[in-house]
C-alpha cells in the first residue's frame, strides 16, 4: 500500500476507535497530571499553563504542548514538550492518554531507560521523538510492536546494545535515527530505505547501509549467535531443497510449516497481540495439509522452462514482492509466474497469498493455480490476464496510445466492487485486501477485473462462528476499520478512473493531516473545476452526468472519518445503478455470488489447474 494511504488509514482507524470505545476523559487528565508531577520543570513551561483547577470542556487542550482530537474535548492527540529543559525519567503515566498518537520529548534532560513495555504505554503512537536526552540502556524490543510508527527518533542519547531486528519490519516506519549513541552489532534489514546518516557515530554498528560487518569486530557473543544461526539456516536450506529431477524427500507440509512458523514469529515480534489473533501452527497442524490441497504444487523445472529461465523479455510486472513473468507451457497455456524477491521478509506475503487466493474462487479474483518452493525460490502461479493491469491502461508508457471508453471503466469499477463485497461479506470468513490500487486490478480478455496481490490481506473469522480460520476477532471494531480502509482505497481507484491521474499526483499531504484529498474532491464536485480534471478522452461523449455521479461516490469513500464512509455493498449498489444504463450487473447477481461460497469446492482444481510432473 502507498505510504500516504497507510497514514490515512492510521488516523482514520484511531478516530474510529475513539468513536466506538468507551474510555473516560478523566484518564487523559490524570495522564497529564502524572507527567507534570513526575518531571522537574526548571523553566516553568508546565507550571505556567498546566492548571488543573479548571472544569471547562477541553481545558487541557489549552495546555502548552498539548494537542487534542477536538478543542472542546479532553482527549489528547499529541504531546510536544521539546526543548523545555525537563528533567527526570520517562513519564510512565503517559499510558493514561489512551488515544495519544504523537509524543515529542526531544531536547530535554531526561535519563534512565526507555520503558521495556513501551508498546503498552504508547500502543497507537505514529510519532515518537526522544532525541537529544540522556536515555541509556538498550533499545526496547517491544518498539517493534508499535506497528503504527511512522517516525522514531532516538539519536543523541547513550543507548547501548543492538538495534532490535523487529524494528526493521515496521511497515509504516519512514523516519528512523539512532545516530550518536553507543550501539553495536549489525544494522537490521529495513522494509523502507533508511540512510546511513541515521546510524552515524555508533562505532560498533556495521552492515548495510554502513560498512560490512567483519568477524574480527564482532563480540564473542555475536560470533556464537551467528554460528548457531548459520548452522540452522544451512540445515533448513538443505532440508527444503527440491531436486530438479526427483520428488522432494521432504514433504511439502514441512516446507510450508517452516514458512508459517517464520511468519508467526515475525507477527509476534510486531505485536500482533494487539489484534486478537489465534495461533494456528502446531506440530501437526491441519492448516498445512489444507494449504497443500488448496493449490497445486508445481514443478520448478516446468516453470523454469515455461518462462525461458526467467528471461527479462518475459517480465510483465515488477512489484514490491517480486517480479512477474509470462510463462508459456508446451500445451499453449499461458500463465503468470510471480517470483518473490530472495528475502525472508516476503515469506509472510507468500503464505498470506496462498491462504487467501488459494481457497477462494470468484469471478473478480485472479485465480491462483499453484505454487513452487525450490531452494530459496518461492513462486506463485496465476492464470494469465491478457489485458494486463488497470494501471497500465490508465497510465501507458509515453508514446503508447491506450483508449479506455467510459462503459469499460464503469464495468471495471462495478466488478472490483463486486469482488470486494464478496470478500467483506460473502465468504465463510471475511477478507480485507488492505492494498487496493489500479496496479492490483488485472483485466482479462473481456476487461473483467480481477483483484490480485493479497500479500497484505487480512483474513478474519466472524466473531461467534465455529470456524477454525487463521484469525479471530472478539470485537467488531477491527473488522470495521479494515473494511473502511478498503473503501478509502477504492475511492482513490474511482478518482483514478475518472481523472486518469496517478493517485500520488492528485494532491499533496502533510505529515499530520488526512483531509486534503477529501477537501480537494469536495471542491471539484462543487465547482467548474470538475471539467478541468476529468480525462479529456471522456468529455463530450454524453457521460458527463455519470462521471459526476462517480465523483460523488468517490467523495463518500474518502471521507476523513471511517464512520462517515459507506460499506462496499452500499457503494456497489450506487455503482450498479449507473451500470444498469450500460447493461451491467444487478443486485441479485452480486447476492448470488455471496451464496456460492458455502457450496464452493475450494480444494477442487479448475480446468486450468496444473499438477506437479
Q: What is the pLDDT of residues 170-179, one digit of tens each?
A: 888 889 999 9
Cα separation, 175 vs 7, in Å, equals 13
The grid coordinates listed for 88 are 527526570
Cα separation, 603 vs 224, in Å, equals 45
Q: Scan for cell 510450508, then name that residue.
A: 256
In the predicted model, is pLDDT for residue 526 greater than 80?
Answer: no
Q: How many CB atoms lie within 10 A of CB 227?
A: 10
- Of 260, 266, 253, 265, nearest to 281 by C-alpha is 260
Say if residue 85 is exposed, middle or buried (CB neighbours under 10 Å; 0-12, 13-18, 19+).
middle
Percent of the chain's residues with pLDDT above 90: 22
Model-level pTM? 0.53
In the predicted model, is pLDDT for residue 498 greater than 80?
Answer: yes
Reduced to 3 states (helix: H, G, I; strand: E, B; else coil), residue 342 is coil
In the predicted model, is pLDDT for residue 471 greater than 50?
Answer: no
Distance of CA 152 to the CA centre of its chain: 18
Cα separation, 432 vs 10, in Å, equals 15
Cα separation, 311 vs 334, in Å, equals 16
- Of 382, 348, 387, 388, nearest to 365 by C-alpha is 382
Question: 523: part of which helix (H) or strand (E)?
Answer: helix 516-525
DSSP annotation of 329 reads -
- Of 75, 34, 32, 77, nearest to 57 by C-alpha is 75
Cα separation, 268 vs 280, in Å, equals 13
Q: How many CB atoms lie within 10 A of CB 262?
A: 15
Reduced to 3 states (helix: H, G, I; strand: E, B; else coil), residue 318 is strand
List, as residue ranges, the binding site. Answer: 338
Edge-to-edge strands of the sheet including 182-186? 87-89, 109-113, 134-138, 158-161, 182-186, 204-206
**Residue spans per domain, the chain:** 3-212
Q: Which overall architecture, per CATH, does domain 3-212 show?
A: Alpha-Beta Horseshoe (3.80)
Instruction: Look at the alpha carbons of 268, 273, 275, 276 in this order and tell me if their dihedral is positive or negative.
Output: positive
- Of 118, 123, 120, 121, nearest to 148 by C-alpha is 123
Mean pLDDT along residues 463-483: 52
Cα separation, 507 vs 503, in Å, equals 8
pLDDT at 421: 93
DSSP annotation of 19 reads H
The grid coordinates listed for 184 are 553495536
Distance of CA 577 to the CA centre of its chain: 32
Q: How far is CA 271 from CA 410, 413, 479, in A?
A: 40, 35, 18
- Of 197, 208, 202, 112, nearest to 161 by C-alpha is 202
Mean pLDDT along residues 470-489: 66
Q: Provide φ and ψ at 88, rounded to 5°.
A: 135, -175
More confident: 149 or 371? 149
Mean pLDDT along residues 185-204: 87
At residue 254 the predicted structure's pLDDT band, cuts being 50, 70 and 90, is very low
Percent of the chain's residues with pLDDT above 70: 68
Cα separation, 316 vs 305, in Å, equals 17
In the predicted model, is pLDDT for residue 508 greater than 90?
Answer: no
- 13-19-23-29 Cα dihedral, nearest 10 degrees: 90
In the predicted model, is pLDDT for residue 609 greater than 70?
Answer: no
In the predicted model, is pLDDT for residue 349 greater than 50?
Answer: yes
pLDDT tens digits, one per residue of 415-427:
999 999 998 887 6
State the average pLDDT for the chain: 74
In the predicted model, is pLDDT for residue 259 greater than 70?
Answer: no
More confident: 195 or 610? 195
Cα separation, 109 vs 81, in Å, equals 12
List, as residue ranges, the binding site for ATP. Answer: 338
Question: 316: part of which helix (H) or strand (E)?
Answer: strand 315-318
pLDDT tens digits, one per residue of 39-93:
999 888 888 889 888 777 788 888 888 988 877 777 888 999 999 999 999 999 8
DSSP annotation of 434 reads S
Q: Provide φ and ψ at 150, rounded to 5°.
A: -105, -35
The grid coordinates listed for 584 are 451491467
In the predicted model, is pLDDT for residue 279 greater than 50?
Answer: no
Reduced to 3 states (helix: H, G, I; strand: E, B; else coil), residue 87 is strand
Q: Provide φ and ψ at 60, rounded to 5°.
A: -70, -20
Q: Are 259 and 322 a contacting pair, CB within 8 Å?
A: no
Amino acid at each position: 500500500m502507498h505510504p500516504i494511504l497507510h497514514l490515512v488509514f492510521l488516523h482514520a482507524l484511531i478516530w474510529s476507535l475513539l468513536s466506538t470505545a468507551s474510555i473516560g476523559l478523566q484518564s487523559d487528565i490524570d495522564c497529564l497530571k502524572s507527567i507534570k508531577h513526575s518531571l522537574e520543570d526548571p523553566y516553568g513551561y508546565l507550571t505556567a499553563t498546566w492548571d488543573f483547577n479548571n472544569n471547562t470542556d477541553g481545558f487541557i487542550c489549552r495546555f502548552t504542548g498539548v494537542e487534542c482530537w477536538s478543542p472542546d474535548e479532553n482527549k489528547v492527540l499529541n504531546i510536544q514538550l521539546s526543548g523545555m529543559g525537563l528533567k527526570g525519567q520517562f513519564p510512565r503515566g503517559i499510558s493514561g492518554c489512551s488515544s495519544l498518537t504523537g509524543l515529542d520529548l526531544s531536547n530535554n534532560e531526561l535519563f534512565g531507560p526507555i520503558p521495556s513495555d513501551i508498546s503498552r504505554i504508547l500502543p497507537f503512537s505514529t510519532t515518537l521523538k526522544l532525541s537529544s536526552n540522556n536515555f541509556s540502556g538498550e533499545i526496547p524490543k517491544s518498539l517493534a510492536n508499535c506497528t503504527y510508527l511512522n517516525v522514531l527518533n532516538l539519536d543523541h542519547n547513550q543507548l547501548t546494545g543492538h538495534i532490535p531486528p523487529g524494528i526493521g519490519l515496521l511497515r509504516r516506519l519512514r523516519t528512523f535515527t539512532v545516530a550518536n549513541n553507543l550501539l553495536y552489532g549489525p544494522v537490521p534489514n529495513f522494509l523502507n530505505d533508511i540512510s546511513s546518516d541515521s546510524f552515524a557515530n555508533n562505532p560498533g554498528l556495521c552492515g548495510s547501509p554502513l560498512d560490512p560487518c567483519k568477524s574480527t569486530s564482532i563480540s564473542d557473543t555475536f560470533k556464537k549467535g551467528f554460528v548457531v544461526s548459520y548452522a540452522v539456516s544451512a540445515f533448513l536450506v538443505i532440508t527444503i531443497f527440491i531436486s530438479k529431477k526427483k520428488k522432494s524427500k521432504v514433504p511439502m507440509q514441512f516446507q510450508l510449516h517452516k514458512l508459517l512458523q517464520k511468519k508467526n514469529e515475525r507477527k509476534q515480534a510486531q505485536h500482533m497481540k494487539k489484534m486478537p489473533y489465534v495461533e494456528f501452527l502446531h506440530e501437526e497442524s491441519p492448516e498445512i495439509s489444507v494449504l497443500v490441497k488448496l493449490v497445486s504444487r508445481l514443478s520448478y523445472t516446468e516453470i523454469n522452462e515455461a518462462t525461458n529461465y526467467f528471461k527479462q523479455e518475459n517480465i510483465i510486472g515488477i512489484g514490491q514482492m517480486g517480479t512477474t513473468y509470462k510463462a508459456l507451457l508446451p500445451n499453449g497455456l499461458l500463465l503468470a509466474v510471480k517470483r518473490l524477491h530472495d528475502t525472508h521478509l516476503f515469506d509472510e506475503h507468500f503464505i498470506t497469498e496462498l491462504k487467501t487466493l488459494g481457497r477462494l474462487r470468484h469471478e473478480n479474483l485472479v485465480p491462483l493455480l499453484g505454487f513452487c518452493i525450490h531452494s530459496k525460490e518461492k513462486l506463485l502461479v496465476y492464470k494469465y490476464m491478457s489485458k494486463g493491469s488497470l494501471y497500465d491502461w490508465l497510465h501507458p508508457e509515453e508514446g503508447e496510445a491506450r483508449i479506455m471508453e467510459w462503459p469499460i471503466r464503469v464495468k471495471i469499477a462495478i466488478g472490483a466492487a463486486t469482488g470486494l463485497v464478496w470478500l467483506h461479506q460473502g465468504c465463510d470468513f471475511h477478507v480485507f485486501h488492505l492494498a487496493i490500487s489500479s496496479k492490483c486490478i488485472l483485466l482479462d480478455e473481456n476487461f473483467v477485473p480481477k483483484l490480485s496481490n493479497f500479500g497484505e490481506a487480512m483474513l478474519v473469522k466472524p466473531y461467534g462462528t465455529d470456524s477454525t480460520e487463521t484469525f479471530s476477532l472478539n470485537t467488531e471494531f477491527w473488522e470495521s476499520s479494515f473494511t473502511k480502509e478498503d473503501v478509502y482505497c477504492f475511492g482513490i481507484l474511482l478518482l483514478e478512473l475518472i481523472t486518469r491521474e496517478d493517485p500520488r499526483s492528485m494532491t499533496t499531504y502533510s505529515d499530520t493531516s488526512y483531509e486534503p484529498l477529501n477537501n480537494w474532491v469536495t471542491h471539484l464536485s462543487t465547482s467548474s473545476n470538475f471539467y478541468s480534471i476529468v480525462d479529456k478522452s471522456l468529455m463530450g461523449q454524453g457521460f458527463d452526468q455519470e462521471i459526476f455521479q462517480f465523483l460523488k461516490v468517490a467523495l463518500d469513500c474518502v471521507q476523513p472519518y471511517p464512520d462517515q464512509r459507506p460499506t462496499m455493498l452500499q457503494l456497489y449498489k450506487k455503482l450498479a445503478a449507473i451500470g444498469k444504463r450500460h447493461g451491467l450487473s444487478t443486485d441479485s447477481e452480486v447476492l448470488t455470488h455471496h451464496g456460492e461460497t458455502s457450496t464452493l469446492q475450494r480444494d477442487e482444481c479448475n480446468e486450468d489447474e496444473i499438477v506437479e510432473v
